[in-house]
Amino acid sequence: MHITAINPDPLRCPLCGQANHCRNLGAQDSAQRCWCNDPALRFPAALLARVPMAARGKACICQACVQAAAEASAAAPTR
């Protein structure tokens, strides 16, 4: 029997490769809410643009990458 890996792995962040802890894709209990469903959370366009085309719509960005992007955005000077 030949087993092939899913590429991209939907449970790995397409930016850093770490586990994305997606409860929408990985949880056995579908009643759980994923961290990314927080209405206060924003996914900046610049962050989404960094996701490789092959992973778009197939693998979730991890919380650490989202937080790092938010911190970088907050620290950036406004024009």
User: What mean pLDDT comes out for the span 4-21?
Assistant: 85
Show me where the domains of the chain are located.
Answer: 23-75
Cα separation values, 59 from 63, 65, 75, Å? 13, 13, 27
* Residue 28 in this model has a pLDDT that exceeds 70: no
Query: What is this structure's pTM?
Result: 0.75
Least confident of 10-14, 20-24, 73-77: 73-77
